[in-house]
Structure 1
């Protein structure tokens, strides 16, 4: 089985190499397909949650007894630290996906006794560490990668809130 896999790999690399000279536009497409099939490696990803972090943004400050309409559009992305380029996509596939938050809302100022109402949006993130074990399918050799992730929280990725100020 290892001999067949090695032969297949050599044939694919040879074809890609030859196509680079004869039809470069086709070779690029074939190269993408070969890498996406994970011919040479298999991956195992484990995650450990460590804490929840947050980022709070002030959306608006509305004076007493006034009204404003706002279009709000935020995105909460996946962030990876200490992650080599060759395994980023493998790690991202196992994490929560980026989240979009959009709304058009009528915001009102506070009643008498307060000067204005501040509106906020808090983006919550789950933070933790990941371990990826990459195994060469032909040789069985393993390589371990570790790093840190921040992803939109699985529970309440966005929280809207307001506070009246005197």
Structure 2
């Protein structure tokens, strides 16, 4: 493969089947694993037009910027608008400047395009507080942000099977519904 080829996005399409508790029972779910080092643990589900991100460890300003950069790359590359899901349940610490949350909201409010949904799952008091603050800052924006403590409620709001809100191969890694 050429150097140019290595620089392009390495996209793997995989299919898996499983029983699900939804109208999509027993249907295979196709997902695209976008494998770029700067954006680990993200998946795109074309059938549901949903991008998911599952950061783990410490949420810093830099990691938050990666989430936004990943989303903006997806927005540029995808022809159709898509919803988003960010799962904060894998975070162990937050080292995020409050002013940085304001900057991110200001940047995302400036986004153009069709209305989309962005669900954030937060199961710890501090990540929940940060997510709720971001939700308030995004009120009346083209991106509707909702924060959830329950994965099932997030799936219902997004209109997707619960299964895809877990990283592939990691269903039920945490006791969040």
TM-score bucket (shorter structure):
under 0.3
TM-score, normalised via structure 1 length: 0.18
> Which structure is richer in relative contact order (CA contacts within 8 A, separation 6 or more)?
1
Give the number of the structure whose alpha-carbon radius of gyration is greater. Answer: 1
Bigger strand fraction: 1
TM-score, normalised via structure 2 length: 0.17
